[in-house]
Amino acid sequence: QKEVEQDPGPLSVPEGAIVSLNCTYSNSAFQYFMWYRQYSRKGPELLMYTYSSGNKEDGRFTAQVDKSSKYISLFIRDSQPSDSATYLCAMSSRIQGAQKLVFGQGTRLTINP
Amino acid sequence: NAGVTQTPKFQVLKTGQSMTLQCAQDMNHEYMSWYRQDPGMGLRLIHYSVGAGITDQGEVPNGYNVSRSTTEDFPLRLLSAAPSQTSVYFCASSTSGGPYEQYFGPGTRLTVT
């Protein structure tokens, strides 16, 4: 079983829809939860991160973490064609003095005008 | 700040050839990593470094060598290229404290024929 599971999609929705992207994980040692956005033929870039359970909002984006269920989500409100990209979840912690970072497989999202 | 830079952007190799992918960062990050990204496989860690002179293997190290003589540079060497190494390669650097978010370069698209 992978430490981080993410539905690869692809996911296609109309412009203006609310998008929900999700990841589950198995390692309870993870402390930080991140979402990266990767446009076609570009490197991933950090979108936002959270440290604890709960919600964090940044404009049209909301990251949600439920540590009890080992489940994280990214919501995109009023989705725009410019949001079309691959979204990767990532989780990190410090284990035995070493940094550990694990990525999900990525979900390809298309917003249709 | 240029961030993380990678050269070349594209490369075609014949089986058995060797080459070095260059990576540099100007953020004074201690941690640097190399990933490969293949369709359906997500990002897989090849090698990483926690500081100058210190490197370690990631998930898929076979066929690759790294060294870290300075904080800024972290080259990846392909010893004898194989078609299975056809991929997109990303270099990343990260902070030494949490949340350990990765800053990625633009990537190198490598084809081995």
Query: Which residues of B lie inside 8 Å of A (Cβ-Cβ)?
Result: 4, 31, 40-43, 50, 90, 92, 94, 96, 98-107
Burial environment of residue B44 by CB neighbours within 10 A (0 to 12, 13 to 18, 19 or more): middle
Q: What is the pLDDT averaged over residues B16-40?
A: 94
Residue B98 binned pLDDT confidence (cut-offs 50, 70, 90): low
- The backbone region for B69, taken as left when phi is positive above 0, alpha when psi lies in -120 to 50, beta otherwise, is alpha
What confidence score (pLDDT) does residue B1 get? 75
Query: Higher model confidence: residue A95 or residue B45?
Result: B45
Contact yes or no for B42 and A43 at CB 8 A: no
C-alpha to C-alpha distance for B64 and B62, rounded to whole angstroms:
6
The DSSP call for residue B7 is E
Residue B8 binned pLDDT confidence (cut-offs 50, 70, 90): very high
Establish if A7 touches chain B: CB-CB under 8 angstroms.
no
What CA dihedral angle connects A34, A39, A45 and A50, to 10 degrees?
-20
pLDDT above 70: residue B93: yes
Question: In angstroms, what separates the C-alpha of A81 from chain B's closest C-alpha?
Answer: 22
Establish if A99 touches chain B: CB-CB under 8 angstroms.
yes
For B32-90, how does the pLDDT look when each residue is reduced to its tens digit (9 = 90+)? Answer: 999 999 987 789 999 999 899 999 999 899 999 999 999 999 999 999 999 999 999 99
Chain-centroid distance, C-alpha A39? 14
* Mean pLDDT across chain A: 92
For A25-75, how does the pLDDT look when each residue is reduced to its tens digit (9 = 90+)? Answer: 999 989 899 999 999 999 999 999 898 888 999 999 999 999 999 999 999
Task: Report the relative pairing of strands B108-112 and B10-13 from DSSP bridges.
Answer: parallel
pLDDT above 90: residue B100: no
What confidence score (pLDDT) does residue B62 get? 96
Q: What is the pLDDT averaged over residues A107-112?
A: 96
Instruction: Compute the radius of gyration of chain A from its Cα atoms.
Output: 14
What confidence score (pLDDT) does residue A63 get? 96
Question: In angstroms, what separates the C-alpha of A102 from chain B's closest C-alpha?
Answer: 9
Name chain A contacts of B50, Cβ cutoff 8 Å: 98-99
Contact yes or no for A99 and B100 at CB 8 A: yes
